[in-house]
């Protein structure tokens, strides 16, 4: 069974690694398009939006609802992709961790 000291060192190492990964995620981006590319949303790995681009050819004052739907789809898709990227990176952090029974995630 691992000693408390060894577990504390592992926890400190994991915490430092988590901080490093979060900083890297803030710099990484994912892109999602909606409406056949008419809407492009770029999200960062920290869950914030970096940009939204709208193709001017879809701007129609009489059909604002379509634009709203496409924007919503684009934003939700980009944020979902960013969350999946962040989850994948953070799961690497605990991949080789040797925890005693009852302390697993």
Q: Is residue 103 scored above 60 in pLDDT?
A: no
How far apart are alpha carbons 88 and 8 in whole angstroms? 24
pLDDT band at 5 (very low <50, low <70, confident <90, very high): confident
Rounded to the nearest 10°, the torsion over CA 93, 98, 102, 104 is: 20
Condensed to tens digits (0 to 9), the pLDDT of residues 28-68 reads 999 999 999 999 999 999 999 999 999 999 999 899 999 99
pTM for this model (two decimals): 0.73
CATH topology of domain 4-93: Ybab; Chain: A; (3.30.1310)
Query: For the chain, which residues make up each domain, given as ranges?
Result: 4-93
């Amino acid at each position: 069974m691992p000693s408390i000291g060894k577990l504390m060192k592992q926890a400190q190492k994991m915490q430092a690694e988590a901080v490093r990964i979060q900083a890297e995620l803030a710099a990484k981006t994912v892109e999602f398009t909606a409406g056949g590319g008419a809407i492009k949303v770029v999200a960062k790995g920290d869950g914030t939006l970096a940009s939204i681009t709208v193709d001017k050819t879809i701007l129609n004052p009489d059909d604002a609802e379509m634009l709203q739907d496409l924007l919503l789809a684009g934003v939700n898709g980009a944020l979902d992709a960013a969350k999946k990227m962040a989850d994948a990176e953070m799961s690497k952090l605990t991949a080789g961790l040797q925890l005693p029974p009852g302390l697993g995630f």
